[in-house]
Amino acid sequence: MSISILQSYRTKYQPRLPRALRKGIRRVAVVTGDVTDSISHQQELRSMFPNTYGQPVLTFKSGKKPKYLQPKNIGVILSGGQAPGGHNVIIGLYDALKQIHPRNQLYGFLGGPSGIVDNRYMLFTDEIIDSYRNTGGFDLIGSGRTKLEKEEQFMKVWANCKELDISGIVIIGGDDSNTNAALLAEWLKSKNAGINVIGCPKTIDGDLKNAQIETSFGFDTATKTYAEMVGNIERDAISAKKYWHFIKLMGRSATHVGLEVALQTHPNITLISEEVEASAMSLNQIVTEMTDIIVTRSQQGKNYGVAVIPEGLIEFIPEMKKLIVNLNDSMALVENSAEYKQATDDQTRFGVILNHLSQTAPDSAQVFNSLPTLIKAQLLLDRDPHGNIQVSKIDTEQLLISMIKERLNALKAEGKYDGKFSGQAHFFGYEGRCAFPSNFDANYCYALGYNACALLQAEQTGYISCIKNLSAPTRKWIAGGTPLTMMMTVEKRHGEFKPVIQKALVDLNGPVFKCLQNNRQKWALEDDYQFPGAIQYFGPDEVVNATTKTLELEKGKMKQRKWYNRLRLFR
């Protein structure tokens, strides 16, 4: 594969490590903290994880004398959607293994968790690893969404690891993938298999975080990528002065991405799903508030603007959430009926569904009937494997444009609006998942992989690789491990109570949301647009090594930013 000039330079970038890891794994000493509990359902989770529940938080420090460590074979898996920096986690793990002993080997299982079940793998070499340093994507070994939760799968994992003499597995993934890592760790320990399992926190959505995990990797790069594009759109808006841009951003379960991008770019309107749900806002209320801003700006001679919309908004609007549940139930009963199968056009299908909803859920029938034809059709698309509506395929941005246009036409007929409205729809999603990792993510991911190796060498299992103090210079980052069970709760999924790592939603009382809230009025009416530009890899330290606004605000470092930037010069 030929490479670009930028890629050739990026492969030469050497990520920085926390102080505790800089002298190598053989000098790492373990500091053991107090025993831990899960965030809820302690009794149930203790019974589900009798061998790995309650383990202490671990912190690493640099020891004085190097330890002799036996050669090891380790396996690594990429699980779930792509996130910038995944390759660097693998590379950090590889470099750490080879630094310990040149005979150590790292196996990459292909196509996600199914690779370790089906025994599809590749053995990494220096040549392979060196060509992927600091690159985006997951193409080195691929990824997948197979769940590891069944006895039969665990047996195959054990057999395949024994065949390759693998004593440790690193699973790189989000909340579901790390839940599976916890289940696999527990099962293997119950069998005294001698195979330890470590997780790594990945997701661009930013919803895998808590008191121990300050941010998931990929969030920094993805939000900077989206912010560049949103900034470009804002520049277009004030140049053309005749378009309203509605930009949907990834983030189905939480709005961390949209919130961070808003703080970087200052759009006129930013919708936060968690706020919509907490305020029990109806679709009409959302449309009314957005329309009010559009009308006010028009009265100022500004028939243009930018609105940022979260991908998962629909599921947070109470009436729409209820509609989706009722639609799922209705579709399960109706889609195999002769009447539905014989329907030859959308309008007939809508009629069949509407008739059923009118009998079972009249409120939802009314909401469904009020929606534009395009959205009705998308709500009836093929279900996912669990029988649920694929919310990501619903053009929420188009829905809002259509309803706002209808509202503006009504106001124009009443003589209350004489402006012009032209809505442009955008969805920025896949564009951010495989970008070259920012310097932050290149460093963070490399440290996570290196740190995962330290946890395995310390014979730990059921932990997630944890790097903290991330708003400080890399040398002040704190390396260690957090028990996966510490982040767990129990939820009912598909009729069964199951252990899950709790997703982190936007904290409406936290400093990040408050920053948006305090600036909303100003950003709505003024053109206070910010243009972050492309992710910077080379240049002034305060530019290339800036963290996200989210981290700065959560760690209270915004006012100390210049002080920290001066410190970075001496890393």
**Please, are residues 501 and 278 in contact by the beta-carbon 8 Å criterion?**
no
Please, are residues 538 and 544 in contact by the beta-carbon 8 Å criterion? yes
- The yes-or-no answer on residue 165 being catalytic is no
Alpha-carbon gap, residue 305 to 367, rounded angstroms: 28
Structure tokens at 121: 């793998």
Rounded to whole angstroms, what are the CA distances from 420 to 303, 397, 404, 409? 6, 18, 12, 10
Between the alpha carbon of residue 58 and those of residues 460, 461, 468, 489, the distances in Å are: 10, 12, 12, 21
Contacts of 553 (CB under 8 A, 6+ apart): 263, 510, 511, 512, 515
Distance CA 168, CA 441 (A): 24
- Nearest-angstrom CA–CA distance, 143 and 132: 16
| Structure token digits, residue 496 | 């069964």
Dig out the tokens for 245 from the structure: 């841009």
Closest CA to 230 of 434, 531, 527, 519: 531
Q: Which residue has the tokens 């959308």?
A: 346
In whole angstroms, what is the distance from residue 238 CA to residue 244 CA?
10
| Distance between CA atoms of residues 344 and 133, nearest Å | 53
> Mutual orientation of helices 346-360 and 318-334 as an angle, nearest 10°?
110
Q: Which amino acid is at 358?
A: S
* Active-site choice (95, 175, 205, 207): 205
Tokens standing for 13? 């970038």
Residues 493, 247 contacting (CB under 8 angstroms): no
> Which residue, among 447, 495, 496, 502, has the nearest Cα to 475 in the 3D structure?
447
Tokens 């119950």 belong to which residue? 190
Q: Are 293 and 269 contacting, i.e. CB atoms less than 8 angstroms apart?
A: yes
On whether the CB atoms of residues 208 and 201 are closer than 8 A, the answer is yes
Picking from 498, 501, 465, the residue whose alpha carbon sits closest to that of residue 486 is 501
Q: Closest Cα partner for 167 from 451, 464, 480, 453?
A: 453
Distance CA 407, CA 462 (A): 54
245 with 237: CB under 8 angstroms? yes
Are residues 76 and 106 in contact, defined by beta-carbon separation less than 8 angstroms?
yes
CB within 8 Å of 507: residues ≥ 6 apart: 513
459: alpha, beta or left? (left if phi > 0; alpha if psi -120 to 50): left
Rounded distance between C-alpha atoms, residue 486 and residue 495, angstroms? 24
Q: Which residue's entry shows tokens 């009963």? A: 333
Which residues are annotated as catalytic? 205
